[in-house]
């Protein structure tokens, strides 16, 4: 590697130490990846995927057998009764919005169980001053239960909130967003589902599953969630899907979401696939392996930056609920240098230098390192952060571990060159 990228020998030595620390976590990751890959394979076999199912449709997209088969495959992969999986979802936030508006009606109340959601969804709820077209604008009331001091959900407070008022939906954000709280494992989600259903059995439990698909051997719908949604340029697209999102869960809820996705009375029956079916099939089939590589990348980054003396979450040997690795770098200069170094190790646009900018949907300037084949894809190695305390980088992705490892080392190298990293 030193001959190819001119990495400081001291960093390479620490990299070897980090790799030794990762051995047990990597071995466990291989077991999870193997199980999930075989689960997806079985879903393809059971639903008789063929060459003909990967052909596209045009116009209204009526009788698109391939689209219908793909959605049955996705439902099986998510352990759900039904699913929507479309390239027409513009983003993860758009997909979540369709699901929220599909289920909620004027006068309904929603309770977020995981504290304040991440930046881009705030406007959907109408809780950040942008209310035009939001749920609040349509008469849906939003409330939330603060996390405990350790960043975990407060089950007692959730029970009390549900006992005091009637909520149509309980909302769970699996990933941490731009916060240092732990991401939720499937076991954590199961406890939340049990808590909600024990007090309010009719409350719909929805999970923002972004970054969490195929990280564990079970998905939220298998432990009590009624509805999940996510983006195809994250885990379930396998780095191949060029865009899109999915919604999965109980059949009657997915149908409501389909009516919001297109129009009432028509729902899922329309929506031309336009030749994208093959990419979505191939991406979903590749997703368990690519997600496994992304988790290995996060584990290595955690071990290396712990060796470098930084605070990391999660640690390399902790159980993970998603692919995100948080590295607290301490100051603006270190954060910018890290992102510049990671960009320099990207297969696409490595020659560019990321700069902080006013990104739509965020209150602070954001810096993003993302040299990806698909614009904005966060299953590909990327890092981003708002320029605010504690100046942490939220890193995710890695289509394959070996190239992602180089990107991480180049990020550390750039910090060293910028005098933001001290080595003995």
Domain ranges of the chain: 2-37+288-417, 55-284
The pLDDT value given to residue 361: 66
The pLDDT value given to residue 339: 96
pLDDT in tens, 143-154: 999 999 999 999
Mean pLDDT value across the chain: 95
pLDDT in tens, 173-226: 999 888 889 999 999 999 999 999 999 999 999 999 999 999 999 999 999 999
Work out the percent of the chain whose per-residue pLDDT is above 90.
Answer: 91
**pLDDT > 80? residue 294:** yes
DSSP string, 359-370: -TT-SS-EEEE-
The pLDDT value given to residue 1: 65
The whole-angstrom separation of Cα 252 and Cα 170 is 17
The whole-angstrom separation of Cα 89 and Cα 71 is 14
Higher pLDDT, 357 or 88: 88
**pLDDT > 80? residue 287:** yes
pLDDT in tens, 24-66: 999 999 999 999 999 999 999 999 999 999 999 999 999 999 9
- pLDDT band, very low/low/confident/very high, at 2 (cuts 50, 70, 90): low
The whole-angstrom separation of Cα 299 and Cα 23 is 10
- 55-284, what's its fold? 3.40.640
Q: Model pTM?
A: 0.95
Q: Who's near 180: CB < 8 A, 6+ residues apart? A: 151, 313, 326, 328, 390, 392
User: Which CATH code fits 2-37+288-417?
Assistant: 3.90.1150.60
The pLDDT value given to residue 367: 94
Average pLDDT over residues 341-346: 96
Please tell me whether the peptide bond between 337 and the residue prior to it is cis, using omega within 30 degrees of 0: no
Average pLDDT over residues 353-372: 87
Helix (H) or strand (E) holding 82: strand 82-86
* Torsions phi, psi for 172 (to 5 deg): -125, 125
**pLDDT > 80? residue 136:** yes
The CA distances from residue 141 to 124, 125, 126, 203, 299, in Å, are 12, 8, 9, 15, 39
pLDDT in tens, 115-126: 999 888 999 999
**pLDDT > 80? residue 80:** yes
DSSP class of 79: T
The pLDDT value given to residue 129: 75
- pLDDT band, very low/low/confident/very high, at 75 (cuts 50, 70, 90): very high
């Amino acid at each position: 590697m030193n001959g190819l990228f001119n990495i400081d020998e001291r960093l390479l030595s620490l990299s070897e130490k980090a790799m030794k620390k990762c051995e047990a976590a990597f071995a466990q990751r291989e077991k999870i990846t193997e199980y999930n890959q075989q689960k997806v394979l079985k879903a393809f076999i059971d639903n008789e995927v063929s060459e003909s199912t990967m052909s596209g449709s045009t116009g209204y997209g009526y009788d698109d057998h391939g689209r219908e088969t793909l959605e049955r495959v996705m439902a099986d992969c998510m352990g759900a009764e039904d699913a929507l999986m479309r390239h027409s979802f513009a983003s993860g936030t758009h997909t979540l919005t369709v699901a929220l508006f599909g289920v909620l009606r004027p006068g309904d109340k929603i309770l977020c169980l995981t504290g304040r959601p991440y930046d881009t969804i705030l406007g959907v709820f109408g809780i950040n001053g942008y209310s035009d077209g939001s749920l609040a604008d349509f008469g849906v009331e939003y409330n939330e239960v603060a996390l405990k001091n350790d960043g975990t959900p407060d089950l007692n407070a959730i029970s009390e909130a549900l006992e005091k008022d009637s909520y149509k939906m309980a909302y769970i954000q699996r990933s941490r967003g731009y916060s240092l709280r732990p991401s939720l494992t499937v076991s954590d989600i199961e406890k939340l589902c049990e808590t909600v259903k024990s007090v309010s059995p009719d409350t719909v439990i929805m999970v923002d599953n972004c970054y969490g698909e195929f990280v564990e051997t079970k998905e939220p719908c298998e432990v009590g969630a009624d509805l999940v949604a996510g983006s195809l340029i994250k885990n379930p697209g396998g780095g191949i899907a060029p865009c899109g999102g999915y919604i999965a869960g109980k059949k009657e809820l997915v149908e409501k979401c389909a009516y919001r996705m297109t129009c009432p009375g028509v729902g899922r029956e329309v929506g031309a696939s336009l030749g994208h079916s093959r990419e979505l099939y191939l991406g979903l089939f590749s997703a368990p392996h690519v997600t496994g590589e992304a988790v290995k990348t996060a584990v290595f980054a955690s071990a290396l930056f712990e060796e470098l003396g930084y605070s990391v979450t999660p640690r390399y040997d902790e159980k993970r609920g998603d692919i995100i690795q948080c590295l607290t770098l301490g100051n603006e200069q270190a954060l910018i240098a890290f992102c510049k170094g990671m960009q320099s190790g990207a297969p696409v646009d490595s020659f560019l230098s990321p700069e902080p900018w006013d990104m739509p949907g965020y209150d602070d300037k954001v810096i993003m390192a993302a040299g990806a084949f698909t614009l904005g894809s966060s299953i590909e190695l990327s890092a981003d952060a708002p320029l605010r305390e504690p100046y942490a980088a939220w890193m995710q992705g890695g289509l394959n571990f070996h190239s992602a490892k180089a990107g991480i080392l180049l990020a550390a190298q750039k910090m060293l060159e910028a005098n933001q990293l001290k080595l003995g």
